[in-house]
Amino acid sequence: MSSQNPTTFSFTKESLKKQFRWSEFLAEKIISGVAFLSIAIIFLIFIFVFKESLPLFSSSKTVEKTEIQVTSTTQPETYGAPTEDLEPETYGTPTEDLTAIDVVETNELEPETYGEAVEELTVGTEEETPKITETNKEGKNNTWSTFLSCEWFPVSENPRFGLIALLIGTLKVTIIAMLFAGPLGVLAALYTSTFASKRAKEIIKPVIELLAAFPSVVIGFFALMIMATFFQNLFGYETRLNAFVGGVAMALAAIPIIYTISEDALSAVPKTYTEASLALGASKWQTAFFVTLPAAIPGIFAAILLGIGRVFGETMIVLMATGNAALNSANPFESVRTFAATIGSEMAETVFGETHYSVLFFIGSLLFVFSFGLNALAEFYVKGKLIKKIQGK
Amino acid sequence: MNTTTTEEKSLFFAGNTKSSDLKGRLIVGSTLAAVILIIAVLFLIIGIIVYNGWDMFSWEFISSFPTDGMTKGGILPAIIGTFILVIVMSLAAVPFGTITALYLTEYAAENSKFAAAVRFSVRTLAVVPSIIFGLFGLGFFIQFIGTGIDKTFNAGQLHWGQPNILWASLTMALLTLPVIIVSVEEALKTVPRELREASLALGATKWQTIRKVVLPESVAGIMTGTILAVSRGAGEVAPILFTGAAYYLATLPKSVSDQFMNLGYHIYIMSTQSSDVEKTMPIQFATTLVLLMLTISLNIVAVIIRSRIRRKKVS
């Protein structure tokens, strides 16, 4: 390749070609290979979360097989669960009636919440048991039929996995959180990008973004200890931990996301737009509201979508602040149980391979698909819209 | 920027907001109110946690073990556990994230479909709920890899196929990967084109240029990414719920195949599952204070480094 004679040097096609070096070649391949891993991770996450829920889709025979395999390898029943005896029976698990009531007695801080939840749920179990036994005889795959019911009793004798009940809870909390976080985040972003002076902007932006540094467990703790009591005294409702408290706490987690992305979108609106508007005699606020804001709508839309994604999948805050009882009511001041919180609180108690375990993983894949979809929508919608806007079509 | 003198004078109202325009004042006022409300709540949270946790917070608290069934004593094992977690996590995530960022800025062609796919994956990774990472850690690291190792090397004896520090750290590494990639990418972009060109013109190859010129120039960016990732990893609880966090351990972990205690998990457990929540309230607030101080100070450091990088880019 590089057999050029120095004395008769001339630029030929050969001499201008890049010299082949193994180190260069390897470096490039390894680096692209590592980059490829991030794509692979996305697929792996989906495959492995979905894989664990597969027993739900197969026939009853294979389900039994996997269970036998598991017992022979002596899998421990606890995942991430402490090995010490100190482990309490985890509150709010509706089905283990006796232990749940035990917890209520010892737990002096929030007796109302857990007590109420347990009462409601036990009543439900007694009433519904006969009906469900009939359907259970039809075969193992009836887990599917219970998905659309409104009852979430995963560990009872006739387990029912009513995803609707969890969906109601998740939606309730998400809506409440977005009602607070959406307007607040966007308005704050509008102020920062259009009205604030440069100096004020330099202070406000990092301070609000500091909120993103708050671990969700800290926000959850604050909601559990301070906000719950505060709101109960303010509104005088019965259940101390409820959807409203959880929603407001989650708004705190969603605000930095909505704020940052909206602020970026608002700042990216071309200067010519605002200058043209101001030159036509519009005042500053008119420009901000009728020119800048509409121009940044795609970005703000993306911000809201990503905010919803954050709230939808948030675990620790709901786990700590919403009371965790799957009730079917539209009342924002009652306890709720969301998809993510269900996974978080019940996974440690399930046995590898059983239906409950698979259902939790199935919920996980639903959550994953949902957040993936939201992100894709935010990304492609925004890109499409922005290109159209810039080209003036 | 054609700033007038009036704009510079007022800190909060730049521009020509006419004071007679009621509607305008209302609108501007509402946006300002949103900012003030958010910032007020932020400081309120910090204030309340500091106020309630300060009495308990002492050197003894952070340097001793919990005693009397976790109703007294300190949080040393939780701090150490968190520390080990973020170190192992960084060891995995930082090289991985840096290399991916290198690919995106140095190697990827402008219209490369592959690079677009990588970018999309990274952004998706950033929005996947943290509990999903926990499920993935359980399904992939523990059930698939861990159990696989046990079957092939340990003759089925359970050692790796259960929750431990390594699996928790790797799970957390995946979660914090986007944070590192974004920060490093930003830093790599601030390395002036001229530096690269000078190096290439002197006969250095692309890889040599990256190793000797680009990477040293972007060390600050890699540090920012690492600090932000550590701050995130120290605070997240959902991914380690079933991949390695333990309720109480009498000893410190000895190897990466042990379980560990964690600050965030400690707060969660103490405030929701403890037998006497009222009694341990000061411990809970003090633990929260420690965690919050840790994450906030890490973030402030990162913000400072980042603003220095940006200033360098401008000048």
Closest CA to B129 of A337, A309, A338: A309
pLDDT of residue A70: 39
What does DSSP assign to residue B9?
Answer: H
Q: Which of residues 142-181 of A touch B (CB under 8 A)?
A: none
Q: Is the minimum CB–CB distance between B148 and chain A shorter than 8 Å?
A: no
Instruction: List Cβ neighbours of A379 (8 Å cut-off, separation of 6 or more).
Output: A302, B120, B123
Helices (H), A268-338: 271-279, 284-287, 293-295, 297-313, 316-321
pLDDT of residue B94: 93
Substitution target in A19, A21, A45 with the highest count of B β-carbons within 10 Å is A45
Instruction: Tell if the pTM clears 0.95, that is, is over it.
Output: no
Closest CA to A343 of A22, A53, A6, A144: A53
B245/A80 Cβ within 8 A: yes
Q: Is residue B315's pLDDT more than 80?
A: no
B313 vs B277, residue with greater confidence: B277
A364/B38 Cβ within 8 A: no
Question: Min CA distance, A155 vs chain B (Å)?
Answer: 19
Q: Is residue A104's pLDDT more than 70?
A: no
Q: Is the minimum CB–CB distance between A312 and chain B shorter than 8 Å?
A: yes
Asked whether the beta carbons of A220 and A316 are under 8 A apart, the reply is yes
Distance, first Cα to last Cα, chain A: 52
SS3 B73: strand
Look at chain B and count its residues.
Answer: 315
pLDDT of residue A174: 92
Residue B177, CB-side half-sphere exposure with 13 Å CA sphere: 34
SS3 A161: strand
The tokens describing B244, both together, are 């390695």
Which sign does the torsion angle of CA A34, A361, B275, A216 carry? positive
Which sign does the torsion angle of CA A275, A277, A280, A285 carry? negative
Q: Using CA atoms, how far apart are residues A44 and A33, in angstroms rounded to an integer? A: 16
Domains and CATH numbers, chain B: 54-314 (1.10.3720.10)
pLDDT of residue A253: 92
pLDDT of residue A380: 83
The tokens describing A195, both together, are 């009205």
Mean pLDDT of chain A: 74
**Which chain A residue shows the shortest CA-CA distance from B205?**
A24
Closest CA to B244 of B232, B229, B233, B228: B233
Q: Which of residues 241-300 of B touch A (CB under 8 A)?
A: 241-249, 259, 264-265, 267-268, 271-278, 281, 284-285, 288, 291-292, 295-296, 298-300
Q: Using CA atoms, how far apart are residues B42 and A151, in angstroms rounded to an integer? A: 38
> Is the predicted ipTM greater than 0.95, yes or no?
no
Q: Using CA atoms, how far apart are residues A326 and A163, in angstroms rounded to an integer? A: 10
A214-226: average pLDDT: 91
A371/B271 Cβ within 8 A: no
Q: How many beta-carbon pairs under 8 angstroms link A with B? A: 343
B238/A371 Cβ within 8 A: no
SS3 B258: coil
A135-156: average pLDDT: 59
A157 vs A339, residue with greater confidence: A339
Q: Which of residues 112-131 of A touch B (CB under 8 A)?
A: none
Q: Using CA atoms, how far apart are residues A32 and B113, in angstroms rounded to an integer? A: 13
Q: What is the full DSSP assignment across A178-238?
A: HHHHHHHHHHHHHIIIIIS-HHHHHHHHHHHHHGGGS-HHHHHHHIIIIIHHHHHHHH--S
Chain B contacts of A315, Cβ < 8 Å? 129-131, 237-238, 241
**B296 → closest Cβ in A24, A213, A286:** A213
Substitution target in A202, A216, A245, A316 with the highest count of B β-carbons within 10 Å is A316
A285/B28 Cβ within 8 A: yes
Q: How many CB atoms lie within 10 A of CB A16?
A: 7
What is the radius of gyration, based on Cα positions, of chain A? Answer: 28
Closest CA to A246 of A177, A346, A163: A177
A327 vs A216, residue with greater confidence: A216
Q: What percent of chain A has pLDDT over 90?
A: 16
Q: Is residue A193's pLDDT more than 70?
A: yes
Q: A72 vs A50, A58, A356, B156, CA distance in Å?
A: 24, 21, 20, 10
SS3 A323: strand
Instruction: Give the DSSP H or E segment for B72.
Output: strand B72-73
Q: What is the full DSSP assignment across A22-46?
A: HHHHHHHHHHHHHHHHHHHHHHHHH
B274/A367 Cβ within 8 A: no
**B246 → closest Cβ in A51, A82, A209:** A82
pLDDT of residue A144: 64
pLDDT of residue B297: 92
Chain B contacts of A183, Cβ < 8 Å? 34
Question: Min CA distance, B27 vs chain A (Å)?
Answer: 7
Chain B contacts of A106, Cβ < 8 Å? 275-276
Q: Using CA atoms, how far apart are residues A89 and B234, in angstroms rounded to an integer? A: 26
Q: Using CA atoms, how far apart are residues B62 and B78, in angstroms rounded to an integer? A: 9
Closest CA to A285 of B13, B145, B159: B13
Q: Is the minimum CB–CB distance between B219 and chain A shorter than 8 Å?
A: no
pLDDT of residue A6: 53
Phi, psi of B256 (to 5 degrees): -70, -5
B176 vs A113, residue with greater confidence: B176
Residue A61, CB-side half-sphere exposure with 13 Å CA sphere: 0
Q: What is the pLDDT of residues B124-167, one digit of tens each?
A: 898 899 999 999 998 899 888 888 888 888 777 777 888 889 99
A127 by Cβ neighbours in 10 Å (0-12 / 13-18 / 19+) ranks as exposed
Q: Is the minimum CB–CB distance between A91 and chain B shorter than 8 Å?
A: yes
A215/B237 Cβ within 8 A: yes
Q: What percent of chain A has pLDDT over 70?
A: 68
Q: Is residue A121's pLDDT more than 80?
A: no
Q: Using CA atoms, how far apart are residues B116 and B113, in angstroms rounded to an integer? A: 5
Q: Is the minimum CB–CB distance between A225 and chain B shorter than 8 Å?
A: yes
**A375 → closest Cβ in B28, B127, B181:** B127
SS3 A270: coil
Beta-strand relationship, A160-161 and A152-153: antiparallel
A137 by Cβ neighbours in 10 Å (0-12 / 13-18 / 19+) ranks as exposed
Residue A257's identity, in one-letter code, is I
Q: Most confidently modeled of A5-9, B158-162, B262-266?
A: B262-266
Q: Is the minimum CB–CB distance between B116 and chain A shorter than 8 Å?
A: no
**Which chain B residue shows the shortest CA-CA distance from A23?**
B207
* Chain Cα centroid distance, residue B13: 35
Residue A142's identity, in one-letter code, is N
Q: Using CA atoms, how far apart are residues A291 and A279, in angstroms rounded to an integer? A: 13
Asked whether the beta carbons of B159 and B142 are under 8 A apart, the reply is no
B131/A340 Cβ within 8 A: yes
Q: What is the pLDDT of residues A260-291, one digit of tens each?
A: 999 999 998 888 988 999 999 888 888 888 88
A176-204: average pLDDT: 91
Asked whether the beta carbons of A284 and B237 are under 8 A apart, the reply is no
Substitution target in A218, A277, A320, A374 with the highest count of B β-carbons within 10 Å is A218
Instruction: Give the DSSP H or E segment for A178.
Output: helix A163-190
A352/B129 Cβ within 8 A: no
Asked whether the beta carbons of A91 and A349 are under 8 A apart, the reply is no
